[in-house]
Structure 1
């Protein structure tokens, strides 16, 4: 496989000086009625002007001579080249590409919507020009393919696969690194350098989004209740220990059970409690 060959062109300002000299030669030839020199100077003028080429910063010119690749000009400025060379201009600037939201299945088979933001630029002008038919379309298609492969390699979150070490919704750095590596491998044959690749949008597909949200809410409620019960048990244990140490009141096992039950109801309830004042004895 061929790669880019850097070409060092001639100084363009010397060609401009030659063109000016040709114009002066034409003027004098006309003045002294020398038609042959007029033709010669005119051919030189056309030859010099036709070969002038301007290369702007972060741009390149790929040169072909009768279909044969001769090299690429990466330098900036005014140059002169063989007028018979065909020129193909390429931009070396970094470009952004945001893919459309595509519906794919994650590792567990759940439909999700995902898109990617890609920053890329041309690294090898020969490959970009001749190894693929249309390098911009190639970038779009291969990026879409890489996103689909990535989404099918990892679960959306830990709710689906508790043993998964990497998920799409939590391990952003690992996912983005894997995505960047996958896209870079696919675009290498087109001479494209991947500057950055990251997930731009990620969500469950609409048909299951509501069910997944309810499941996540239920899991959050269970986890919160678990924390509340742990805290309540600790508070009850501390209260009983403090009452026993200070000998404020002596409770038998039955009254301890009743006190624990009441405290747990008060501490774990999700609504305000309504106190009941007992005007009798403790055992009434």
Structure 2
């Protein structure tokens, strides 16, 4: 495996001054040289002219990957004007943070329900040598592997939380994002890519089951609300009976208590407001 390393390079401004001075000196000698000495000076001028090919510019958060006759020679990440061996071939690669949003993928969750899911991945090149030489096209590699990781993650978790301690795609956003980042990072490590963040940007049931699942969610919400109402109503009825007995307001036998409990539960649990009935006769 090719590892990223620093290439041979020098400060371009310093080398520019040196080469200009040597060129001026060589030109002065060339005007006075004759015979064999003239040929030596002329060869020196050609070498100096070739040295000017070694200048290049490195932008901030950019790397220059250098190869020498097909062999990796290193990467220069120092910004500014630089100089290196003229025979080096130099290729620019961006080290800036990038992001992309995947398309909406249709997959089945852990429960087998078809869902639509998409992700946003924030990434950057960490190892320039691996990015260029370990994979054919690292940008395409990031896209394809991120979508493959998203498909794998979606099949490991249900869309909704059906049990109290169950991790679901919709209810555990932070945990799902961490798992997704780890899954993508494991796939992109070989390409020298660092994943900074990965989050689900779109999550929904597939259109063919969306209506049925909406009704299921509504039914679950109604059941949960009714359960809470019943718990509260039972507590209120119990408190009312205890208060009546404790303060001696009225004495009720078991049959009358059952009727009172039934009436109170109807009033407290009903969807509509109760209509009061005034009893103008005796208690019984």
* Fold shared by both chains (TM-score > 0.5): yes
Q: Is the 8 A contact 2:55 2:82 kept in 1?
A: yes
Report matched runs for 1:38-187 at 5 Å.
Answer: 43-159=46-162, 162=163, 165-187=166-188
Q: Is the 8 A contact 1:25 1:38 kept in 2?
A: no
Helix, strand or coil for the counterpart of 1:8? coil
Helix, strand or coil for the counterpart of 1:93? coil
1:221 matched residue in structure 2: 222
TM-score (norm 2): 0.90
- Structure 2 residue runs of 5 or longer lacking an equivalent are none
- Structure 1 residue runs of 5 or longer lacking an equivalent are none
2:241 matched residue in structure 1: 240
Structure 1 distance, partners of 2:278, 2:107, is: 61
Structure 2 distance, partners of 1:153, 1:251, is: 58
Structure 2 distance, partners of 1:163, 1:223, is: 13
Q: Is the 8 A contact 2:117 2:200 kept in 1?
A: yes
Helix, strand or coil for the counterpart of 1:115? strand
CA apart distance, 1:89: 0.4
- The C-alpha deviation readout for 1:117-171, integer Å capped at 9, x for no partner, is 1111111111111111100000000000000001011111223xx3763221222
Report matched runs for 1:4-15 at 5 Å.
Answer: 4-15=4-15
1:203 matched residue in structure 2: 204
Structure 2 distance, partners of 1:33, 1:2, is: 49
Q: Is the 8 A contact 2:51 2:85 kept in 1?
A: no
Q: Is the 8 A contact 1:25 1:41 kept in 2?
A: no
Structure 2 distance, partners of 1:8, 1:37, is: 28
Helix, strand or coil for the counterpart of 1:196? strand
Helix, strand or coil for the counterpart of 2:147? helix
Structure 1 distance, partners of 2:10, 2:234, is: 86
CA apart distance, 1:32: 7.2
TM-score (norm 1): 0.90
- Backbone CA RMSD of aligned residues: 2.3
How many corresponding residue pairs?
281
